[in-house]
């Protein structure tokens, strides 16, 4: 089955602490994974994709095929990082399967 699992509904950290939002996937083919973010009162938007191997707003995510994971990491969280984060898997023909999302709350 094609599935994306985000085990944490809520992740609460203090400003300056490291952040890791977990994402595991189940897919028989070669995975193409994304992180989307929804800030308060804003539209859901792409944060990063694994094929780009880029760092956006200090966030990085590495695809680990052995562990079927694509965890999102940031070494020092900022208050403006507070948002809802969704991990997504492309299952073919532009079709994305999203996880249930993790709400990140960064406190001062």
From the CB of 60, what's the least distance to another protein, in Å? 18
* Nearer Cβ to another protein (32/105): 32
Binding mask 12-41 for another protein (x = CB under 8 A): --------------------x-x-------
Residue with the two structure tokens 């079927």: 68
Contact residues for 87 (Cβ-Cβ < 8 A; gap 6+): 4, 6, 21, 23, 25, 33, 34, 35, 70, 72, 98, 99
93 binds another protein (CB under 8 A): yes
99 binds another protein (CB under 8 A): yes
Residues that bind another protein (CB under 8 A): 32, 34, 43-46, 49, 51, 86, 90, 93-101
């Amino acid at each position: 089955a094609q599935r994306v699992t985000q085990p944490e509904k809520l992740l609460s950290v203090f400003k300056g602490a490291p952040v890791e939002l977990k994402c595991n996937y189940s897919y028989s083919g070669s995975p193409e994974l994304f992180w989307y973010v929804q800030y308060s009162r804003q539209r859901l938007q792409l944060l990063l994709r694994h094929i780009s191997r880029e760092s956006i707003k200090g966030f990085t995510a590495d695809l680990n095929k052995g562990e079927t994971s694509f965890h999102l990491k940031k070494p020092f969280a900022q208050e403006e990082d507070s948002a809802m984060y969704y991990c997504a898997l492309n299952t073919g023909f532009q079709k994305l399967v999203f996880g249930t999302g993790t709400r990140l709350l960064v406190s001062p």
